[in-house]
Every structure is written in structure tokens, then in C-alpha cells.
């Protein structure tokens, strides 16, 4: 089955840039989607199709995808960005939807 | 606006079954597939399966084949997820999530229901 690997944690100071990676075999050939989940809440979509933002999501959230790594970038990090972040793809070979292992973003 | 409202928390004994509901509003119910995803305490997200509310067809994750059944009621715009032969490892928050679509693909999750905690304990 297809595996997506994320770093367990990322720490960043307010106003700086956080980069969260999502590794998978030839992930650049797939569409990657990203979710933000705050404690006790349901996940919220922040980026879809590698780099598109749903309405209402700040421009500070951006995504890229190439080769074996997709990246979610959060610019000008704010305290409210502290959350768990998950990447997700659809694996056509198994017709299954796969989530990454999740990354906890801590704002220092 | 699109809204998914799930049923309340459940406590079940090992070996029992649980049925969680997800009532949709704010869009045409039969036009969008619905997923179920679960999250064990302190763990990540796990996809369980998908249902087409229009015809009722389903596709389940291999891990849950034989134990999960997803159904829908078009008269009330509600989808259901039933999990049988419950064990302690099934203790989790269960989410419904509508499929998200662009002009080229439909393979993300947006929005999500608020979640339903299912506790399996003797």
C-alpha cells in the first residue's frame, strides 16, 4: 500500500515560515491535499490539488509537489496556526485514500 | 452553507455493533460522494470507505472489508456507517466528510462532520 511520511513535529517562531514535508514514492505524479486539525476539532482543508486554496484560507498557506516530496508552506506564521497537519492523496493502484502520518506545528 | 451533522457519542461492548449517522444539508445530497474517516485517540487519520448517495454503491478500505457497511437514506439526506464485531482498538472519533471536486478531479475531503466518539469497553 502507498505510504506518506511526514515529520512528527515542526517548530517555528511567530512571523517566520514553516515548511511541512510529505514524502511518498513518485508523489509528484499525484494530487496532494492538506488538512489542518486543531485540538478537539475536525480537520479543515487548507490546500487541494497540490497548491490551490479553498475560499477563506489565507494566502499564507501554499503548497508545492515534485518528485518524491510535497510541501505545505505557512508564511508569516501566527499563533493560531498551531495545529496538526496531514497530507492526503488518492492511490489509483489500490483505489484507496491515504493520509500522511501527521505533523504537529508548534509556534514558539 | 454545506453542513454535515453527526449523531452523538456511543459506548459499546466488545463484539457489538455501532451505527453512526451523518445528516447533510446545504447542497444536493445525491450529487456528492461521502467518505468515512476515523481517528483513534492521539493517532492520525484513517480512511474507511466511500458511498455514492445517488445509487448507494460503496467502496471500503481493505482493512474494514466484512466489518463495515455504509448506507444512505435519500429522503432525509443522511448517510450511515455501521461497524460490527467491535474491539477496543475501534475506539476512535469517526468522521463523515463530503468529497471535494474541481473541474479535473474529486479526491479530497471537504467539509467534515463534527465527529462522533465511539468508545468500546467492557
List per-block mean pLDDT (blocks of 10 residues) for chain A, which spans 108 residues: 97 98 97 97 97 96 98 98 98 95 98
- The reply to whether B99 touches chain A by the CB within 8 Å rule is no
- Which residues are CB-neighbours of A90 under 8 A, at least 6 positions away? A30, A31, A96, A97, A98, B107
Q: Nearest 5°: CA angle at B89, between B84 and B91?
A: 75
Per-residue pLDDT of chain B (122 residues), as tens digits, is: 999 999 999 999 999 999 999 999 999 999 999 999 999 999 999 999 999 999 999 999 999 999 999 999 999 999 999 999 999 999 999 999 999 888 888 899 999 999 999 999 99
C-beta separation of A86 from A37 below 8 A: yes
> Which residue in chain A is spatially nearest to B110 when comparing CA positions?
A45
Say if the Cβ atoms of B44 and A54 lie within 8 Å.
no
Q: Are B62 and A96 a contacting pair at CB < 8 A?
A: yes
Pairing label, strands B18-25, B3-6: antiparallel
Q: A57 at the B interface (CB within 8 A)? A: no
Q: Does A100 touch chain B (CB under 8 A)?
A: yes
Question: Which of B45, B62, B92, B97 to mutate to probe the A interface, most A CBs <10 Å?
Answer: B45
Amino acid at each position: 500500500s502507498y505510504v506518506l511520511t511526514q515529520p512528527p513535529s515542526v517548530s517555528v517562531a511567530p512571523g517566520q515560515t514553516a515548511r511541512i514535508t510529505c514524502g511518498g514514492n513518485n508523489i509528484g505524479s499525484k494530487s496532494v491535499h492538506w488538512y489542518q486539525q486543531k485540538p478537539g476539532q475536525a480537520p479543515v482543508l487548507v490546500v487541494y490539488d497540490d497548491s490551490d486554496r479553498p475560499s477563506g484560507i489565507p494566502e499564507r498557506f501554499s503548497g508545492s509537489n515534485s518528485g518524491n516530496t510535497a510541501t505545505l508552506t505557512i508564511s508569516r506564521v501566527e499563533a493560531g496556526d498551531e495545529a496538526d497537519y496531514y497530507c492526503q492523496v488518492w492511490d489509483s493502484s489500490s483505489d484507496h485514500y491515504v493520509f500522511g502520518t501527521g505533523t504537529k506545528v508548534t509556534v514558539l | 452553507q454545506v453542513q454535515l451533522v453527526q449523531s452523538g457519542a456511543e459506548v459499546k461492548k466488545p463484539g457489538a455493533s455501532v451505527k453512526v449517522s451523518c445528516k447533510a444539508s446545504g447542497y444536493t445530497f445525491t450529487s456528492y460522494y461521502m467518505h468515512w474517516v476515523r481517528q483513534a485517540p492521539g493517532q492520525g487519520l484513517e480512511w474507511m470507505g466511500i458511498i455514492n448517495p445517488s445509487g448507494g454503491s460503496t467502496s471500503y478500505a481493505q482493512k474494514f472489508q466484512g466489518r463495515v457497511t455504509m448506507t444512505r437514506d435519500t429522503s432525509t439526506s443522511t448517510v450511515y456507517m455501521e461497524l460490527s464485531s467491535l474491539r477496543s482498538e475501534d475506539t476512535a472519533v469517526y468522521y463523515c466528510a463530503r468529497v471535494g471536486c474541481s473541474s479535473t478531479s474529486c479526491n479530497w475531503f471537504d467539509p467534515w462532520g463534527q465527529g462522533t466518539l465511539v468508545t468500546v469497553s467492557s
